[in-house]
Structure 1
């Protein structure tokens, strides 16, 4: 009996330990799964692929400063690139926070309506990213960097909030990208101002505004279907960049290799955005317009690279390389 009692007690303890072990393992697995879901939701909220389209704007601004003959601080360029990523992440986060009631009807699988992230949490996260971006820009480029970053933050809030559903909302979105290029110019040594640019160089951030405004005009009508005029506007915005690129190449007196690279990126840009835009125009349904919007967003990297190549081959390549992670991640996460 003693032996039986000992055996029985021992068996019961082992069983209890195994049960607790299984329960603990299941709990740990559930916690890990929850963390993964949350990280995936945050990645979707900030549009991870799109984040890689922000630094190219900053690099383009720095390249333009180089063309103008001003001295650059490379650490400042890096810091401003980080600030631009934070600003972009804030923009997409606040966009979804403001649009949560609409997304609940049209896109219920998005992070906020699906319940993975609270709307209040998204507003707080977005605001925190904006503040962090301004702080990083200040650390990288002082008052000029912080000032442009603050203006960009204001444009982001204006677009995501009161201006989105107005007739000028798409222009506000375009302005955020133009300001992102200007942000890169603040990496210049003290004393440089935009007025030091000639007309051709000033036209570069302006055409970025036009292009993104046109793409946003199309994106705002993505779910309507049968809206060929909006698609034509986006195509016109893309085509408008080509004569500006030619103007910049001629005005700067770019070398043969740099001109060839700029032309190559321009051709690739036209191919990249032209195919999906043509497909969307031929069959203007949301299933075709959505991919066209995504292609145009990623295509901005190639447009930036074309203009940056004017400053030198390495500038163009440094910008273009950001397309690789952007495209790779776009196969996992949505761009629009």
Structure 2
């Protein structure tokens, strides 16, 4: 019995280390992007394949997990100084294992997308994997890196739009991935030095991204002119998104140190689910609720594992 308990304890520790490596709360912020993409083409009158959309959601999780894992692989030396509690510097996961796992997750994500929704989805997933790998290995820390991270989220929305035979979408629908990309790019800018010193200007930039996103939702409501219930839900969710992120960004601006900036970054990442839900509401209340469902496990797991 004693050996069995030791083995079970080791297994739990290993699973916890892997969960920390892939930022398990964040994984639940990836499928909402895909659902948003499906909602946008549904709003244009296209018939969305739910099995394909589900497969693409799984692919997005694998791609996100691969990205966070490779992030720690490339940042191992920096994390040893700034974040020694992370799995690799803490000795819970070897750097080599993290590298292999991260690459395998990216490849797996591309293959799942290909099988789920065909060649167009596979090509888009491959492009997304390439952007993620470039960000982790080369572009991180500069303007190109911020745009790359934002582009990855925009591509994730576009990935969901491949769950149909064509990419038919109104012009206003094609603007949504750009808004999501810009929001995440500005949040990434704030996150660049979250473990050390963050300038107030970076927090202001993230706040500007929040305002831009809210204006994007309101603009889409005006252009798309959905029924009243959908419009009201979209506006309400945009307001909730603004309030939630604002509550975290306020302390980060007042006292921009790791203890405030880190939680602000985490909040902005998780709040993307609410933003996705606000945009998805344009297609229907059911699309919004399906998107928001992922917020429950994301917030719950964020109480146990780090988001940023």
- TM-score, length-scaled by structure 2: 0.98
Could you say which residue in structure 2 is the equivalent of 1:166?
142
The alpha carbon displacement at 1:244 in A equals 1.7
Distance 1:335 1:263 in 2: 27
Deviations 1:141-183 (A, max 9, x none): 0001111110000010000011013331111000110000000
> Does 2:95 align with 1:119?
yes
Is 2:162 the counterpart of 1:200?
no
Question: Gaps (5+ residues) in structure 1?
Answer: 1-24
Secondary structure at the aligned position of 1:301 is classed as helix
Matched, 1:84 2:79: no
Where does residue 209 of structure 1 map in the other structure?
A: 181
Match of 1:325 among 274, 278, 297: 297
Aligned length: 308
Partner of 2:210: 238
Per the TM alignment, residue 65 of structure 1 is displaced from its structure 2 partner at its CA by: 0.4
Q: Name the SS for the 2:306 alignment partner.
A: coil
Deviation track 1:279-304 (CA, whole Å, cap 9, x = no partner) reads: 11011111110110000000000000
Q: Does 1:101 align with 2:73?
A: no
Deviation at 1:226, TM superposition (A): 5.1
Partner Cα distance (1:165, 1:266) in 2: 29
How big is each residue's C-alpha offset from its partner over 1:195-219, in whole Å with a ceiling of 9 and x where there is no partner?
A: x433321110000000000000000
In the alignment, what sits opposite 1:251? 223
Contact 2:83 2:195 survives alignment (8 Å) = no
- 8 Å CA contact retained: 2:198, 2:261: no
- The aligned counterpart of 2:3 is 27
Q: Measure, in 2, the Cα distance between the counterparts of 1:165 and 1:311.
A: 36
Give, in angstroms, the shift of residue 29 of structure 1: 2.2
Give the structure-1-normalised TM-score: 0.90
Instruction: Indicate the SS of the match to 2:243.
Output: helix
The match for 1:260 is 232
Shift of 1:241: 1.3
Q: Distance in 1 between matches of 2:111 and 2:94?
A: 26
CA RMSD of aligned residues (A): 1.0
Q: Secondary structure at the match of 1:311?
A: coil
Partner Cα separation in structure 2 for residue 220 and residue 245 of structure 1: 27
Partner of 1:47: 23
SS of residue paired to 2:118: helix
SS at match of 2:235: helix
The alpha-carbon deviation at position 32 of structure 1 amounts to: 1.6
Q: What is the CA distance between 1:109 and its match in structure 2? A: 1.2
The 2-side partners of 1:165 and 1:277 are apart by 21
- Structure 2: which 5+ residue stretches go unaligned? none
Distance 2:216 2:68 in 1: 29
Question: Shift of residue 329 of structure 1?
Answer: 0.6
Q: Which residue of 2 aligns with 1:273?
A: 245
Moved over 3 A (4+): none
Q: Does 1:138 align with 2:114?
A: yes
Cα shift at 1:243:
2.1
